[in-house]
Amino acid sequence: MLTFTTPAGMFWCSLESWQRLFALAREQGWTPSGIPEPILTEPWDPLTDEPPPLPPPWGNAQGPLRLRIAEEDAASMADALENALPDIPRFDALSEKTLFRIDSTTMIPVRVLKPGVRVSHYEYFSGANRVAMERFISLLRSGPVIVS
């Protein structure tokens, strides 16, 4: 589970949800201006220790580091995701493809899909996921984001 901390609050989602948000923003033309700034969570001595491994830029925030997404990149990602909203259904487009779902007000709902089902990003973020995505967009607009 990833945690996104902004000046306006926190948001949680799975790595898959983050990868889909990232991919959807890219489909809408978003290009980050740089890579996130790593924030060390474990002390290390640069004279005697090897530096902690850096996670791949943007697509994966797992590892010993937290990442800081600049305010400019967060705002431009919010713009890109907002551009996708008209194409994302307000109804649950996954209801026939889902075995069950766990809902939460602070994160994108967790769904267990039927085996072999393919899901587009637009279907994935439909219904309750769209509401969570709208909240994520508003948080991205509030300033820099810490991903941990």
pLDDT in tens, 76-97: 999 999 999 999 999 989 888 8
Ranges of each domain in the chain? 2-147
Residue 59 has a pLDDT of 42
Residue 23, amino acid: A
C-alpha 148/C-alpha 42 separation (Å) is 13
* Cα separations in angstroms, 107 against 99, 110, 126: 19, 9, 14
Q: How far apart (Å, rounded) are the C-alpha atoms in residues 58 and 67?
A: 9
Q: Whole-structure pTM over 0.85, yes or no? A: no
Low-confidence ranges of the chain (pLDDT < 70): 35-65, 105-108
Burial class of residue 12 (count of CB atoms within 10 Å of its CB; 0-12, 13-18, 19+): middle
